[in-house]
Amino acid sequence: MSAELTVAAVQYESSQGGISANIAAHVRALEDADGHGARIAVFPELSLIGYDLSRLDDDACWLTNPSVELAEVQAACEDMGIVAVVGAAVREPDGTPRLASVLLRPGTIPLIAPKTHLHGDEQHYFEPGKGPTLVDVDGWSIALAVCFDVAKPTHAAEAAEAGADLYAASAVYVVGEERRLDLHFGARAMDSRFFALLANAAGRTSLGPSCGGSGVWGPDGHRMTHSRGTGPEVVSALLFRSALDRYRR
């Protein structure tokens, strides 16, 4: 079990060209995160196509075989020894549509972590998941969340009950939601006494211009680090288990 963990929130602006057009940029962002010493890099919600639900009528915007379609990202993870969490629309083998985080780790097949709390028109395209997905990275338990999941305190509480040390969320927050963003992540971290990470979209989205704010909050609810602006950026933080132990006592 590692006493510390370096993490990266990738504030990423998706290309309009679909999954294939975003693969190389994801790899470059992973190289940047690796340069920060990160063991895990988290991308925003639907990072592989951008948050524009109208594009989901195009079959090319859906992952159906992540092992093949994300082979270049997987290879980068293998080469760097880094874990990547990318955002995608996924059709599971039985056809179930998911708005999901896809976890890519060295030495294993991709893991699909579905969004639990769908919002608005998402309910037309996707089926919800059944709760937070937890994974182990260097002995740290990491719970994956997607955007509106963070607005539901029960989601983070379930993650905490399952032993999460880090609550890592992929999301899209836009201008006007700055206060909401900070309250969500500060409250989830403080209430559950874990670290919380936000990877927000960069640039413009179909919901409006990003408000930035990607970063990490400590188990005291205070923000530890954040992006400098609203454009593409990799924000890293070094997490110490001793901080968790102190607040959990």
The pLDDT tens digits along the chain (249 residues) read 699 999 999 999 999 888 999 999 999 999 999 999 999 999 999 999 999 999 999 999 999 999 999 999 999 999 999 999 999 999 999 999 999 999 999 999 999 999 999 999 999 999 999 999 999 999 999 999 999 999 999 999 999 999 999 999 999 999 999 999 999 999 999 999 999 999 999 999 999 999 999 999 999 999 999 999 999 999 999 999 999 999 998
Q: Which two tokens stand for residue 48?
A: 């592989």
- 6, two tokens: 């370096």
Enter the tokens of residue 112: 């699909």
Q: Which amino acid is at 160?
A: A
Strands (DSSP E) contained in 93-232 are 97-104, 111-114, 133-137, 140-146, 166-171, 195-200, 204-205, 208-209, 215-217, 223-226
Q: What is the pTM of this model?
A: 0.97
According to DSSP, residue 143 is labeled: E
